[in-house]
């Protein structure tokens, strides 16, 4: 199981990015997202997507990052903090895939300034390239590498709508 922990979101500036972090997490194989912010609008729009498109992705708001990380580790899970200051992903991906085979993974992404203790609390500080970019891009690449493309085989049960993939145009069918 993979869960994403999204830190430090300022409602007025980061809501859209946080929504995209959640949608990306859902689309690429995570089971849920923990939010330190108590912004309910983000949870609402992701839950709307789940209702339409299926799966059982969940969002929990108003979470304390310290206790969430501690609880995860106590339950035997591994915590991976994505940061440009970390060890570059290709150097650690083999080890991380071994961990993922037997343990649950929490992926931590920041917004603006990441609290200093996160670097120590995490089991791994991983860079998706040692250059500054985006939490959405970092998360997408990390999830894909961790699961080695298997995320695309996942089915989204339930929901109301389903895409019939087409070369040209848009085909959406209503599930029975």
* Contact positions vs ligand SAM (CB under 6 A): 82-84, 109-114, 127-129, 131-135, 138
In the chain the first and final C-alpha atoms are separated, in Å, by 29
Q: Is 165 annotated as a binding residue?
A: no
- CB nearer to ligand SAM: give 50 or 140: 140
CA distances from 43 to 34, 47, 49, 52, 80 (A): 10, 6, 10, 14, 23
Q: How far is the CB of 135 from ligand SAM (least distance, A)?
A: 3
Contact between 78 and 124 under an 8 Å Cβ cutoff? The reply is yes
Q: Is 134 annotated as a binding residue?
A: yes
- CB nearer to ligand SAM: give 52 or 88: 88
- CB nearer to ligand SAM: give 26 or 81: 81
Q: Is 110 annotated as a binding residue?
A: yes
Q: Is 128 annotated as a binding residue?
A: yes
| Residue with the CB atom nearest ligand SAM in the bound state | 110
Specify the pairing of strand 105-109 against strand 2-6. Answer: parallel
Q: Is 82 annotated as a binding residue?
A: yes
- CB nearer to ligand SAM: give 90 or 129: 129
Q: How far is the CB of 64 from ligand SAM (least distance, A)?
A: 18
| CA 149 from centroid of its chain's CA atoms | 15
In sequence order, the 6+-apart residues with CB closer than 8 A to the CB of 117 are 66
CA distance 93 to 159: 33
Residue list, annotated binding site for S-adenosyl-L-methionine: 82, 110-114, 128-135
């Amino acid at each position: 199981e993979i869960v994403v922990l999204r830190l430090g979101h300022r409602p007025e500036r980061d809501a859209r990015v946080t929504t995209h972090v959640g949608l990306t997490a859902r689309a690429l194989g995570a089971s849920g997202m923990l939010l330190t912010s108590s912004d309910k609008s983000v949870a609402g729009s992701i839950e709307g997507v789940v209702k339409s498109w299926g799966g059982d992705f969940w969002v929990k708001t108003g979470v304390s990052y310290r206790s969430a990380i501690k609880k995860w580790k106590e339950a035997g899970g591994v915590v991976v903090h994505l940061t440009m200051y970390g060890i570059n992903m290709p150097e650690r991906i083999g080890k991380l895939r071994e961990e993922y085979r037997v343990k649950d993974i929490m992926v931590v992404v920041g917004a603006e300034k990441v609290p200093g203790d996160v670097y120590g609390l995490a089991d791994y500080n991983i860079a998706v390239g040692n250059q500054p970019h985006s939490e959405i891009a970092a998360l997408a690449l990390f999830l894909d590498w961790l699961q080695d493309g298997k995320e695309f085989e996942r089915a989204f049960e339930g929901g109301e709508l389903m895409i019939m993939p087409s070369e040209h145009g848009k085909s959406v069918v209503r599930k029975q």
